[in-house]
Amino acid sequence: MSKKYVYLFSEGNESMRGILGGKGANLAEMTNLGMPVPQGFTVSTEACMKYYENNESVSPELIGDIYTYMIQMEEMTGKQFGCPENPLLVSVRSGARASMPGMMDTILNLGLNDLVVEGLAKLTGNSRFAYDSYRRFIQMFSDVVMGVPKSEFEQIIDCLKTKKGKHQDIELDEADMKHILKEFKKLYFRHMGSDFPQEPKTQLIEAIKAVFRSWNNERAVIYRRMNDIPSSWGTAVNVQSMVFGNMGATSGTGVAFTRDPSTGEKKLYGEFLMNAQGEDVVAGIRTPQPISELAAAMPEAYEQFLKIADTLEKHYRDMQDMEFTIENGKLYMLQTRNGKRTAAAALRIAVDLVDEGMITEDEAIMKVEPKQLDSLLHPQFDIISLKQAKPISSGLPASPGAACGRVYFTAEDAKKAGERGEKVILVRLETSPEDIEGMYVSEGILTGRGGRTSHAAVVARGMGRCCVAGCGAMKVKECEKCFIIDNHVVHEGDYISIDGSTGNIYIDVIKTVPAGISGDFARFMSWADKKRRLKVRTNADNPKDTEQAVAFGAEGVGLCRTEHMFFVNDRIHAMREMIVSRTAVQRKKALDKLLPMQKSDFTGIFRAARGYPVTIRFLDPPLHEFLPCDKEEIEAIAVSMGMTYDELNTVVVSLHESNPMMGHRGCRLAVSYPEIYEMQTKAVIEAALEVNLNDSMSVEPEIMIPLVGDVNELRYVKKIVTQTADKIIATSGMKLSYKVGTMIEIPRAAVMADEIATEAEFFSFGTNDLTQMAFGFSRDDASKFLDDYYAKGIFESDPFARLDTAGVGKFIKLASDLGRTTRPDIKLGICGEHGGDPSSVEFCHNAGLTYVSCSPFRVPIARLAAAQAAIKSEKAK
Amino acid sequence: MSKKYVYLFSEGNESMRGILGGKGANLAEMTNLGMPVPQGFTVSTEACMKYYENNESVSPELIGDIYTYMIQMEEMTGKQFGCPENPLLVSVRSGARASMPGMMDTILNLGLNDLVVEGLAKLTGNSRFAYDSYRRFIQMFSDVVMGVPKSEFEQIIDCLKTKKGKHQDIELDEADMKHILKEFKKLYFRHMGSDFPQEPKTQLIEAIKAVFRSWNNERAVIYRRMNDIPSSWGTAVNVQSMVFGNMGATSGTGVAFTRDPSTGEKKLYGEFLMNAQGEDVVAGIRTPQPISELAAAMPEAYEQFLKIADTLEKHYRDMQDMEFTIENGKLYMLQTRNGKRTAAAALRIAVDLVDEGMITEDEAIMKVEPKQLDSLLHPQFDIISLKQAKPISSGLPASPGAACGRVYFTAEDAKKAGERGEKVILVRLETSPEDIEGMYVSEGILTGRGGRTSHAAVVARGMGRCCVAGCGAMKVKECEKCFIIDNHVVHEGDYISIDGSTGNIYIDVIKTVPAGISGDFARFMSWADKKRRLKVRTNADNPKDTEQAVAFGAEGVGLCRTEHMFFVNDRIHAMREMIVSRTAVQRKKALDKLLPMQKSDFTGIFRAARGYPVTIRFLDPPLHEFLPCDKEEIEAIAVSMGMTYDELNTVVVSLHESNPMMGHRGCRLAVSYPEIYEMQTKAVIEAALEVNLNDSMSVEPEIMIPLVGDVNELRYVKKIVTQTADKIIATSGMKLSYKVGTMIEIPRAAVMADEIATEAEFFSFGTNDLTQMAFGFSRDDASKFLDDYYAKGIFESDPFARLDTAGVGKFIKLASDLGRTTRPDIKLGICGEHGGDPSSVEFCHNAGLTYVSCSPFRVPIARLAAAQAAIKSEKAK
């Protein structure tokens, strides 16, 4: 028997997400629950992967299967595909295992052709509806399947409306529709050189192929990369018999959530449009009514919907996001899925569901996407600054948080500005999936059209960006790069402020402050903390960041980089003196100036860490980073240092390196100039002694030697540290424990970790450098070619953002295992930027590390990710 | 019982090299053989390591032991240490496990003081001898133990000679010696602030400590690095009772070899000086007589020495290098060891010893140092060019080979010139161990003083440099940086030519040609080839190198770099056109110009490889390497390319990378620009088809994709190659097999080798890049800090010259093992510069690789090293 690639909805169930995709599995489940679902079938994700294996072609066997299932659909519906008398029309929709809203393609009303449309008109007695449906189908099919630009079709409609002085599509009548249809078909012929395909079976197979293809369209690839979705999953295709929300006054369509996706409040939340198809709601072109108004408009359907919503939430034990259509008064469920929600809502829903007895604490922990917590920690407006500001208008509060930045009108401009380091507010009439990268770099998004379920709103919530949507008062003039609200004209580059929690829009620059953390948060995180085994530390180079991180739950500092301290204005001079020294004596003199500054940094950090361990990494970057590089700067600094230009320039030139990443840095500096680490040791030890004495603390500093590749390097440098430290401690007459360990960031160190662990009391995996050197990718240069890697499917994610667990992970495991052979109780941590990435945290949990360390704002993310990892690995047992 | 650190000569034997050092073990062995060896004891290498463990101090226990053994020596010799009536005088000499001639320190006549010297004068009736011995001792002890510069002592002597109008030390009389002694002691006091130590026991312990310290002097560290000697071996110290070759007309001293160390001829070969101490011979200050003349001078001693020499050679089954002293007519053996020899001599001796039935072929293979073969392959003078030249003088032919280069007078100047890329001839009055680095960078060495056993001669032979020694006609004026022979004045930077095989010196520039390979060589190498399992290929980028390598025994090309071909004048233009292309179409047009050029390279190489496999690596370096970088060049090239300066400069700037080593290169280029590898594939496949058709060969090209770190990269690029290749082959109607494999040079590739091997038909370890990335060392920058690593004992050898078997080797093993799990018959090779380094070859043998690939001139070295590795691993079984 050949493999099964097609499933009726009645053949599937919720557990078959992997092959049916999320949408297909849920349609099957709703079918099983006896809910009113327009019937159909799902072409599996395996068929999609087969399509790619066969050089993007669909096998004759699969085509045969699809036709067979069409016949079954005809039997179930009592309608016939391509039959004008009683036509079966279908929708063709993508549906991957993970929800990827708007990323892939949908075609509605498939099965219409020149004859069928006449039949449909007769059958429904609604010619305008029939022709409107056909023209929608032609438009979608041409765009999605054939790549004929949607905008050219829109132009035809706009042109007609202008000619006839109409504003809304709905004002166009049957004759107009017929005219449009004729023009659409001409346009199609112009582009394709052939007539619009009349054979419904051909339409169907081409549509299915188009959905398969859309799995690899650019925005889907980007979305997957941002959301860690493997390309090998593929998408399923759902073929479902059409129901029509645009059949007249007793028809409509809507989307609703069982709880408020912004706040988590337990109440039905959503919107609907009468006499419309689903695309009208999602696209946000018409502004819909709140769901509660459906009670008055269609009480029976509303009651039925309420019951279904309740059943679904209880069944899935999670907040549901549902799509429905009412056709001539009859309710149909088109989709249900666990709803996307803001972080605040996610927390509240998780906590409420536990309180409602619906889920366990562990299940609650698994329900919140760690990355989302980020948005909770993001800025809100400073109250005083806000009081002085007056909104010039408001829109829908579509994604919470506040933002202030410069206005840009295209995703591309926004992206460029973001790359320049500007804070950006992206302003669009409405957003589309093409805008996703521009949205990503923006602080906030402001749109002129669309509701809280529009593309802009959904995506912004997912990304944790603040969003104000559907500000009807705003006239966006993209071509002139400005927008107008009343008599305010705001140009590209002007500052505005928006509040995604109130919907307010300001032309003032309003200060933002970090978000307060709610009670739900504390309660929820306490569950996570109970569960996790991994400790979470922070990367912090100063007392302020350390304090912030400890407030966010950090259990110490995993990485305090000492070089950042030297860039501060009054210190860089002493640092430069040190660098241009020609003798050890000169160098020591300069270092003596730096000593008290370093010491005061460390006392501050030790105090802020409140007794938690602090790991201090000694000087790491190549020395030339501290020197000026252009002629004028060198001249100016030479004067201030009492040197000639030539003298200083000679030093600058002598420090130039071909590949500074792999040059004279890290412990290699200490091998050449031991006095640098001597000074740093003094600063650490003296600071610890002082804090322990004055603040009655018991700091045990952890000194971390960077860039070690061989045990001899560490042995040599450690001796410098311990000799210096032990002398100071002995002189002080006090007791002080300290540890000396190393970063594992050189590939050779990973494979020599057994030897290195004989000297190192702890390892901290520097996954940034380890990734660079394991791949041989210079982080500064790799962006030039990594885009080609994504485009050609060679890489699915950025190894600098998401730990490459297969390769770099192997180094970590290898080093951990080897390290434990010679030092069984070795402390193992990770301090690269991966420390705050949830999938990387999961890897660290599984590799048996002691802690992860990440930037302060990622601490809660790491705490939650660590708890989820613990739960997952418990389950796997 | 406490550990034994001191051994009488009679307690040791040959097999105890490890703890007694070579000299100590051989003194013990000669003692056991009943030969006349002045008795004494050896302080073991373990005592030396203990000294370093104890922070460079000698334990009271060891001092006690040494005193005890001194008492035993007193009993054996019937003399007393420090007793003026019958004084025991001793020599204190270093002796490591491996011979390190001249690298460490020696002190003679220890035990003399103001009283003992009087006794010695009385006892010998030779006051001049006694005072001369004392002044020698003071001089050596002050220099070696206390660090008072030798030259200041020499000045005192020179000053006196000038005053008295004398030329030779020997012309100075007893009164002169007394005067010198007084001045020496004053000099000592001036430097040290105390009197010269009179207590012999103190002298002894200080001298032993000085020898221990000398193990880590700079020249010893450099010598070890160049000869792969571990610092953990340490040196032993031999304390031996003195015999005196400077006691008058019936005394003398000499060195001799059982066979000619230059040619290997079987005849006693050596030199002696009457009335002299050993240092006089080795230092080459007086020019000695040939050993054969000893027969006339002292027939009895000569006969005895001949017998001993013969016995020792048979006993050690190798050519011996012996030192002897005759004291008042009585012969004493001071040392024997396997003699250093030229490569030609090494081959001849090895072959002769087999023919004499003394050793087996396997033993013969083990007797030749692979690195030495290099010198056999090094240039000789071109005969025609030589005929037109006339020597202006000649010296002793001390190390064979011919060289032409610019004259430099100090090791430092020679080193600098060598680093500038100049060919250097180092000219010195005499060389000393401090000159070793200068000698290393030179093509040849010319000295004014010293024989064929002088420092210059011994070291030059060891390094395979040509050397002409003891050219008495040459006046070297180091301070004026010139030398004079007759009326020829040669200044620094002038060219000269020297012939180390004839001793001739020319002021002409004489062309050199590669050496012919002798009959011994072919026979010897055939034994090696029988024995080895590893194949040896060559790294060659053109037909000429390929031919040369095949003549040297290469079994194919392991690495043909395709980028070098693009730097040739007529090609670089097309290459640049390709790089500045803005579209794939433009790029293809430029590549079309390069195609026929590449193809002709490959047909040439395939022909030169005579049917052996050829591995072609596709374009590897970042594209900016092909572009100009300074303004004038960019301007000129822009004109020739029909671009504006700004246009071209934009391209140059856009290709700039922070760390080009880890940038857009290797297979990453092919991911971005597949058409480059398409063109290269075409060139390879068309060339192979053409050669197979026209030359009736059956070339099977191996296409190697560089810089792969992930199987997806290789899969993508391989598809480009196979699609292109298969199409051409199909069109040709001919049959052609080819392989596609990859370099393993990215650390990640090593740990992901199982996945990569599913696509790669072979691996070639690119150990240059693998070393760079495993260590995180940029090769271009590392020299800046690696000197500190050597100086501080962190590294013992340069990982770019000698494979880091512990770390990089682990990656190779890991990748080999993983690769075999998914492709059991995978071909494994190494193509870094390590392929010609003997210790690295041994590693490759043990790791089970298929072949090593190295530069043509290192092919014989690799063949021999592979045979030695096979023999060693057989023995180890």
Contacting B residues, span 735-794, partner chain A, CB-CB under 8 Å: 745-748, 751-752, 769, 772-778, 780-782, 784-785, 788-789, 792-794
Residue A615 β-bridge partners = A702
| Number of Cβ within a 10 Å radius of residue A439 | 25
Residue B661 to residue A710, Cβ atoms within 8 A: no
Give the DSSP letter string of B554-619: --SEEEEESSGGGGSHHHHHHHHHHHH-SSHHHHHHHHHHHHHHHHHHHHHHHHHTTTS-EEEE--
DSSP, res A147? -
- CB within 8 Å: B658 and A806: no
What integer pLDDT is reported at residue A514 of this predicted model?
A: 65
Q: From chain A, pick out residues whose CB is under 8 angstroms from the CB of B657.
A: 778, 780-781, 784
* pLDDT, tens only, B195-207: 999 999 999 999 9
Look at A494 and A432; give whichever has higher pLDDT: A494
| Torsion, CA A660, CA A661, CA A664, CA A666, rounded to 10 | 150
The verdict on a CB contact (< 8 Å) between B748 and A774 is yes
CB contact under 8 A, B662 and A808: no
What's the pLDDT score for residue A516?
60
CB proximity A664 to B under 8 Å = yes
Contact B379, B514 (CB under 8 A): yes
C-alpha distances in angstroms, B661 versus A800, B516, B564, B678?
A: 18, 40, 17, 24
CA-nearest of B369, B621, B807, B853 to B799 is B807
pLDDT category of residue B89 using cuts at 50, 70 and 90: very high
Separation between Cα atoms, residue B466 and residue A367, nearest integer Å:
78
Residue A100 contacts residue A217 (beta carbons within 8 Å):
no
CB A146 within 8 A of CB A100: no
CA distance B654 to chain A (A): 10
Smallest Cβ–Cβ distance between A747 and the set B774, B781, B794 belongs to B774
d(CA B47, CA B25): 16
Residues A834 and A809: beta-carbon distance below 8 Å = no
Phi then psi for residue B79, to 5 deg, are -110, 170
pLDDT at A462 over 60: no
Confidence of residue B282 (pLDDT cuts 50, 70, 90): low
Looking at residue B23, its amino acid is K
Residues 6+ apart with CB under 8 A from A173: A128
pLDDT of A827 > 90? The answer is yes
Q: How far is A781 from chain B (nearest CA, A)?
A: 6
Q: What is the pLDDT of residue A285?
A: 62
Cβ contact B45:B233 at 8 Å: yes
Instruction: Give the closest residue to A111 by CA, choosing from A94, A129, A87, A95.
Output: A87
For residues B200 and B109, what is the distance between their CA atoms, to the nearest angstrom?
A: 11
Q: Which of these is catalytic: A378, A455, A624, A845?
A: A455
Which of A661, A671, A751 lies closest to B785 in CB terms? A671
What are the angstrom distances between the C-alpha of A23 and each of A242, A460, B400? 16, 22, 84
Please report the number of interchain residue pairs, chain A to chain B, with beta-carbon separation below 8 angstroms. 172
- Is A664 in Cβ contact with B784 (below 8 Å)? yes
Q: How far apart are CA B174 and CA A754, in angstroms?
A: 66
B chain contacts of residue A747, beta-carbon cutoff 8 Å? 747, 773-774, 776, 811
Mean pLDDT of A390-396: 90
A582 interfacial to chain B (CB closer than 8 Å): no
- φ, ψ of residue A656 to 5 degrees: the values are -60, 140
According to the model, what pLDDT value does residue B464 have?
64
Most confident of A171-180, A441-450, B748-757: B748-757
pLDDT in tens, B656-678: 888 999 999 999 999 999 999 99
Q: What does the block give as tokens for A261?
A: 């996706």
Is residue B255 within 8 A of residue B305, CB to CB? The reply is: no
What confidence tens digit (pLDDT) does each residue in B342-382 have?
Answer: 788 899 999 999 999 999 999 999 999 898 887 677 777 87
Choose from B655, B752, B773 for mutation: most chain A CBs within 10 A.
B773
| Helical spans, DSSP H, in B234-324 | 278-283, 294-297, 299-316
Convert the pLDDT of each residue in B803-845 to its tens digit. Answer: 999 999 999 999 999 999 999 999 999 997 788 889 999 999 9
- Partners of residue B709 in chain A, C-beta under 8 Å: 774-777, 807
Residue among A144, A149, A147, A119 at smallest CA distance from A133: A119
The closest CB to that of B709, out of A712, A776, A811, belongs to A776
Q: Average pLDDT of chain B?
A: 91
- Provide the pairing of β-strand B330-338 with B535-539: unpaired
Using alpha carbons, list the distances in angstroms from residue A426 to A214, A283, A430, B417: 26, 18, 11, 62
Give contacts of A716 with chain B, Cβ < 8 Å. 792-794
The β-bridge partners of B468 are B397, B446
Q: How far is A393 from chain B (nearest CA, A)?
A: 44
Estimate to the nearest angstrom the gap between the alpha carbon of B496 and the chain centroid: 24
The answer to whether the CB of A816 falls within 8 A of the CB of B756 is no
- Residue B713, chain A, CB below 8 Å: the answer is yes
In one-letter notation, the amino acid at residue A546 is: T
A831 given a catalytic annotation? yes
B713 and A794 within 8 Å at the Cβ level: the answer is yes
A658 neighbourhood in chain B, CB within 8 Å: 660-661, 778, 780-781
Closest C-alpha among A44, A51, A46, A49 to residue A25: A44
Q: Taking the alpha carbons of A670, A676, A680, A682 in that order, is the dihedral positive or negative? A: positive
Average the pLDDT over A701-715 and give the result: 97
* Predicted TM-score of the model (pTM): 0.81
What does the alpha-carbon distance between residue A283 and residue A470 come to, in Å, rounded to a whole number?
Answer: 11
Helices A543-551, A584-608: inter-axial angle, 10-degree rounding: 30
Q: Report the candidate in B591, B596, B598 with the shortest Cα–Cα distance to residue B576.
A: B591
Phi-psi region of A707 (alpha: psi -120 to 50; beta: other; left: phi over 0): left
Integer Cα distance of A451 and A470 in angstroms: 6
Helices (H) and strands (E) in chain B, counts: 35, 31
Q: Are B748 and A807 inside 8 Å of each other by CB?
A: yes
Q: Contact at 8 Å (CB) between A113 and A200?
A: yes
Query: Closest partner residue to A780 among B658, B713, B793, by Cβ?
Result: B658
The residue assigned the tokens 């003078």 is B381
Sheet holding A482-485, edge to edge: A474-477, A482-485, A488-491
Q: How far apart are the first and last CA of chain A?
A: 35
Residue range B691-695: mean pLDDT, rounded: 94
Residue numbers in B near A790 (CB within 8 A): none
Model confidence band, residue A137 (pLDDT cutoffs 50, 70, 90): very high
In angstroms, the CA B389 to CA B366 distance is 40
Q: Can you give the pLDDT at residue B110?
A: 97
Q: With a cut of 0.90, is the ipTM above it?
A: no
Q: How far apart are CA A440 and CA A438, in angstroms?
A: 5
CB of B151 closer than 8 Å to CB of B243: no
**Greatest CA span in chain B, whole angstroms?**
102
CA-wise closest residue to A8 among A35, A50, A37: A37
- Between CA A809 and CA B536 the distance in angstroms is 36
Q: Cβ(A261)–Cβ(A269) under 8 Å?
A: yes
Retrieve residue A221's tokens: 């690839």
In B, which residues are within 8 Å of A778 by CB distance?
Answer: 657-663
Summarize pLDDT for B124-137 with one digit per residue, the tens. Answer: 888 999 999 999 99
DSSP letter for each residue of A397-430: EEE-SEEEEEEESSHHHHHHHHHTT--EEEEESS
B241-266 burial by CB neighbour count: b if 16+ within 10 A, else e? bbbbbbbbeebbbbbbbbbbbbbbeb
Q: Helix or strand or coil: residue B489?
A: strand
Cβ pair A662:B810 closer than 8 A: no
Active site residue B471: no
Quick check: A87 and A81 in contact, CB under 8 A?
yes
Q: Are B82 and B198 in contact (CB under 8 A)?
A: no
Whether the CB of A8 is below 8 Å from some CB of chain B: the reply is no
- The answer on pLDDT for A281 being more than 90 is no
Q: Within 10 Å of residue B267's Cβ, how many Cβ atoms?
A: 11
Lowest mean pLDDT among A162-171, B275-284, B407-416: B275-284
Alpha-carbon gap: A797 to the closest alpha carbon of chain B (Å): 13
The whole-number average pLDDT for the span B793-800 is 88
* A536: Cα separation from own chain's centroid: 21
